[in-house]
Amino acid sequence: MSLLQHLGLPTPKSFLPVHAASGSPGAHTTPRGPAPVPQAQSSRSASKHEADEGDEAKLRAESKKMQAEIEAKRKQTSDALAQMRKLAPLIEAKIASAQGDEKKALVAKQADLQKRTAQAEKEMVQAHDDLEALDSPGTKREELLAIMARRGSKAKLDEEIEVKGAPGLDPYKKSVNHDRTVTTSSYENGKAVTDTVHDKQHVGVGGYTKEHAHETEVRTGGSTARNSEEKKTAVTTGGKVSVEKKTATEIELADGRKSGVEHVDAREFSAKGGAHEKTTKVTNFDGSSTTTTKKNEIEREDGRITAKTGTTVTKTGANGTSVATDKSAHGGVIAGKDGRSLDVAGSLALVQGLLTQRAAGVGAQHRRQEHDLGVESLVDLALHEAMQDEADHDRRNHQRRGRAQIAGHYWRTA
């Protein structure tokens, strides 16, 4: 019993606990604290936490197991490498004294020994890197899964999602300016699958930029398959618009050889004109490659409207030697005292073919931007004037032919 109750005085409201119900002096109060979590939600969270801990325990156990296996394999490779290095000078000496078929057979054995030695040295380096990664607490999950796939682990790890953001930006908050990366990784049936999505957007004083990239990587044994796509868009306050799209597919074998195809489509527009460039690169397992670049562009400056087109094909051999072939053409119209006339280096067919691409083949989704920048009107004006010049030229030729026919008729009748 409190002192006020003992004296028979009422308890002031300011003395009552904040959680007490009004009109009930003896109401039971409980201290303020976190709201109770529903039982179903609590059980789901607990289950997920237990699953994550179980998956992490599997990964740690598999890492320790792989460390022991890699150590044993590295010792075997080291012993074999030492024997091969001892044999190398012996074969070299026999080749120096041998002749004919015997020498050819020894040279073939030497080449095979050199190949085996290089492979063993590569395996030693890979073993060192894998052990170092397994021993480091900072190694990423996807790197550990890649080691498991390379070493043929039979374990199974559930899918895990990791979300990261740039410093100062909350990756979970929906805002105009953001920079987030979502990585999903899993391992099953000897396959390590990593899927990465990166989204970035920024609006500032200089303009607007947006990036989106998506890459999927699948590792099986010593081979790796990668597939990626990327798009970048930028709009400056000065009215310059650029859009770049890139797709790539690549296969990497256990011995490090790679083969793949890469496509890049880049477009750029401004009040001065536009450009569209496409590049395709095909790489073979032997290291040779072929790169084809096609570029169309239109420029407007000092009363001159110029359209250009060009194709470059570069072939690179397995030895690194490159040979490039270029094909290009250009044409346009020039503003003069008496109006506009075709550039001497151009022709109507070239100008019409290039300019009707509407600023290097702009897609339908960019028509409005193109119109705002004045590129569409620029193209139409140049094409109209070029066609008008050609029509005037044809009309003059027709008039000359008509006068010649009349003169010929008069001469014959005379």
Is residue 321 within 8 A of residue 330, CB to CB? The reply is no
pLDDT, tens digit (0-9, with 9 covering 90-100), for 37-63: 455 444 444 455 555 566 677 787 888
Coil, strand or helix at 203 = strand
Across the chain, what does the average pLDDT equal? 76
Between 100-135 and 39-97, two packed helices, what is the crossing angle to 10 degrees? 150
Number of H helices and number of E strands within the chain? 8, 12
**Is a pLDDT exceeding 90 seen at residue 128?**
yes
Taking the C-alpha atoms of residue 115 and residue 73, their distance in angstroms, rounded to an integer, is 19
Q: Of 5-19, 297-311, 323-337, 345-359, which has the strongest mean pLDDT? A: 297-311
Does the pTM surpass 0.75? The reply is: no
The confidence score (pLDDT) of residue 387 equals 46
What is the residue-wise DSSP string for 279-342? EEEEE-TTS-EEEEEEEEEEEEETTEEEEEEEEEEEEE-TTS-EEEEEEEEEEEEEEETTEEEE
What's the pLDDT at 174?
79
At 72-121, the pLDDT tens digits run 999 999 999 999 999 999 999 999 999 999 999 999 999 999 999 999 99
Q: Which residues, at least 6 apart from 64, have a Cβ–Cβ distance to it below 8 Å?
A: none
* pLDDT value at 227 more than 90: yes
